[in-house]
Chains A and B, each alone.
Chain A
C-alpha cells in the first residue's frame, strides 16, 4: 500500500533507482572514486538541508555549525564512550544538530535575508572559536575517528560505510520529497512568497520557519557525522570553518533547487571537479572552481539539475 503510493511518485522511484545503481557501481570503482563519492554524498545530504531553507527564501551562511556538530558528536562519542556503531553515531550526530537547531531556531526564526545569513555565520564562528581554543575538544588538530562498526561487525573495506551513506541519502531524499509534497512542505514557497498571507490563513510563519530550520539542521548534522566517518577524522578547519559553510552554499547553487536529488548530484560533481582542478593546477584550482560557479550562475541559473530537467525522456514523461 505505502510502497505503491511511494512508487507512484516519479521523483521517488528515480531517486531509489539511481541510488541502487550507484550502490552497485560502488562495488566496481577504485578506492579513490569510492572515497570521493562518499564525501560528495555526505555533503549532498547537508546541501539537502540547505535546500529546505532555500525554498523558504532563506540562505544560511553558517551551516558548518551543524556539519561540525554532527562530526564532533561522532568523534566525542567515541572518545568518551568508545561507541563506534554506525547507527548510534548517525543518530547522535543528527540529534545533536537538531537539538542545537531547535534552540537557535528561536532566535533565527525572527530574522530574514542578510540578517539570517549573517546571524547563522556568527553562531558557526562561535563554535569554531570554542573548538580551536579548547584542548579537551582537540583544538586546531581535532581528533581521529576510528573505523565505523556495524552492529558489532568490523568491515574490512569502506564499502559498507558507502552503502550506509547511500541508504541515508535515499531515506533523506525520499523523506524530503514526501515532505515537499505535503501541505506543510508547500509552506516553504508560501512563506517565501507572502508571510502576511500565511499568518492570515492562521499559521505562524515563525513556527513554520522554525520547523524547517530544525529539519535543515538535522540533515546537515547527519551529513557531518557521515563525513567524519568517511574521512576518519574531525578538525575545525575542514568541518566548522566559515569556508565549509561557503562550500555548502556554493554546492547549493551548483545543484539548483529543482529536486531533492539535485544536492547529491551537485555535491558529487563538486567533489570531483575539485579533485581534477587540484590535479590540473595545484596552485590555481580555486580559479577553476570559481570559474565553474560563474558559468553555472550565468548559463544555468537553476543549477546542474536543469540539465536533467531538459533530458528528452523526462520532458516526454512530463507531457503525459
Chain B
C-alpha cells in the first residue's frame, strides 16, 4: 500500500488485558477523506481500537502512524493537537453547562492560544463561530439548554460537534447512533457525514446498524476477538462468510449496546 497517501497507518498492533486479547495483529491504512465502518459483536475490540489510536489506551506492541508520524502511546490531548479527534460511545459532554458553553469551551481550546483563553468565553468572534457550528449540526434550537437535559440523540450530536471544532484530519466516532431512535439515526448521520465531507476528514466509525454502515462507508473493517477478520468494500464485506458467521450472526439489537454498565470504564 502507498504509505505516503495514508492518514493513518497501523502495523502489528496488539493489546491484551490480563489474559484477554483485545487487539491482535491489526494492520490497516486509512486514506484522506475515506469513510470506514468498524463492525463487530459486543466485546470484539472496537472501542479498544479507537482508544489506542487516540492514546487513551497504550498498545502492548505495534505501531500507529498519523500522516507519517509515529503517534503510538501519545497522550489524548496531543492527538487532538495534531489532528486526531473522537466522539464517545457514551456522550462525554459538560453536563451542567449549556450547549452553547460546551461548544464555546471546545472552540476556545481548539484555538490553543493561551492569550485568547483569558478573553471572555463568549467573545463575539467565538460566539459567531459557535453559531456556525450549531447551525451545521442543527443544535441552534438547543443553544441555551443544559447538556444534561438533552435527549440522547442531541447529546450525541453535541459530542460529535465538540470533537470536530478542532478541524481534525482523522475523526473516530464510537457508535455515533447508539441510544438514538431508529428514525433519527439517518438524520444524525446525514448531518455528520455532510458536515465532514466539506472538510475532507477521514472518518472511522463504529456501528452496529448495517443499514447505516452500508449507506455511508467506503470500506468495512470487521472485528472478531480483537482481530480484523475482513477489510473490504461493503458489498464484499457483508457477504463474506466469516463476517456473516461472527458479526452478523451474532448481531445484537442496537439499542441494548448502550445499557451495559461496563462502558464508562473505557470511556
Binding site for B on A (CB under 8 A): 178-179, 181-187, 189-190, 192-194, 196-204
Q: Does B116 contact A (CB under 8 A)?
A: yes
A200 touching B76, Cβ below 8 Å:
yes
Cα of A182 to Cα of B104 in the assembled complex, Å: 11
Out of A179, A189, A202, which one reaches B109, CB within 8 Å? A202
Q: Does B112 contact A (CB under 8 A)?
A: yes
CB distance from A209 to the nearest CB of B (A): 14
B80 touching A193, Cβ below 8 Å:
no
Please give, as numbers and ranges, the residues of chain B lying within 8 Å of A190 by CB-CB distance.
Answer: 94, 97, 105
A181 touching B94, Cβ below 8 Å:
no
What sequence of 0s and 1s flags, for each residue 91-117 of chain B, a beta carbon within 8 Å of any chain A beta carbon?
Answer: 011111100010011101110101011
A200 touching B96, Cβ below 8 Å:
no
Q: Which one of B118-126, B149-157, B206-214 contacts A?
A: B118-126
Out of A179, A183, A196, A197, which one reaches B116, CB within 8 Å? A183
A189 touching B96, Cβ below 8 Å:
yes
Taking chain A's interface residues, is the majority helix, strand, or loop, or is none over half, making it mixed?
helix
Q: Give the one of B120, B162, B163, B166 with max A CB within 10 A.
A: B120
Q: With A200-B92, A202-B77, A202-B166 known to touch, is A183 a contact of B97 (CB < 8 Å)?
A: no
Please give, as numbers and ranges, the residues of chain A lying within 8 Å of B108 by CB-CB distance.
Answer: 183
Cα of A204 to Cα of B79 in the assembled complex, Å: 12
A181 touching B162, Cβ below 8 Å:
no
Chain B count of residues within 8 A CB distance of the other chain: 36
Q: Give the one of A182, A183, A186, A190 with max B CB within 10 A.
A: A183
Can you report 24 A-B residue pairs in the complex whose CB atoms are below 8 A from each other?
Answer: A181-B120, A181-B121, A183-B104, A183-B117, A183-B119, A183-B120, A183-B121, A183-B126, A184-B114, A184-B117, A186-B121, A189-B97, A193-B95, A196-B92, A196-B267, A197-B92, A198-B109, A199-B75, A199-B76, A200-B92, A201-B106, A201-B166, A202-B109, A202-B166
Number of A-B contacts (CB under 8 A): 85
CB distance from B136 to the nearest CB of A (A): 18
Cα of A204 to Cα of B114 in the assembled complex, Å: 13
Q: Does B14 contact A (CB under 8 A)?
A: no
Instruction: Across the A-B interface, give the 6 residue pairs with the lowest CB-CB distance, nearest first.
Output: A183-B108, A202-B80, A193-B94, A184-B117, A201-B109, A197-B92
Q: Does B31 contact A (CB under 8 A)?
A: no
Cα of A192 to Cα of B148 in the assembled complex, Å: 14
Cα of A39 to Cα of B228 in the assembled complex, Å: 68
B81 touching A202, Cβ below 8 Å:
yes
Q: With A183-B117, A202-B81, A202-B166 known to touch, is A197 a contact of B97 (CB < 8 Å)?
A: no
Please give, as numbers and ranges, the residues of chain A lying within 8 Å of B85 by CB-CB distance.
Answer: 200
Please give, as numbers and ranges, the residues of chain B lying within 8 Å of A201 by CB-CB distance.
Answer: 77, 80, 105-106, 109-110, 162, 166
What sequence of 0s and 1s flags, for each residue 215-244 of chain B, a beta carbon within 8 Å of any chain A beta carbon?
Answer: 000000000000000000000000000000
B118 touching A200, Cβ below 8 Å:
no
CB distance from B243 to the nearest CB of A (A): 31
Out of B92, B95, B105, which one reaches A187, CB within 8 Å? B105
Cα of A194 to Cα of B105 in the assembled complex, Å: 12
Cα of A187 to Cα of B121 in the assembled complex, Å: 10
Please give, as numbers and ranges, the residues of chain A lying within 8 Å of B267 by CB-CB distance.
Answer: 196
B163 touching A185, Cβ below 8 Å:
no
Cα of A198 to Cα of B97 in the assembled complex, Å: 13
Please give, as numbers and ranges, the residues of chain A lying within 8 Å of B96 by CB-CB distance.
Answer: 189, 192-193
B54 touching A200, Cβ below 8 Å:
yes
Please give, as numbers and ranges, the residues of chain A lying within 8 Å of B92 by CB-CB distance.
Answer: 194, 196-197, 200
Please give, as numbers and ranges, the residues of chain B lying within 8 Å of A200 by CB-CB distance.
Answer: 54, 76-77, 80, 85-86, 92, 163
Cα of A184 to Cα of B105 in the assembled complex, Å: 9
Closest B residue to A201 by beta carbon equals B109
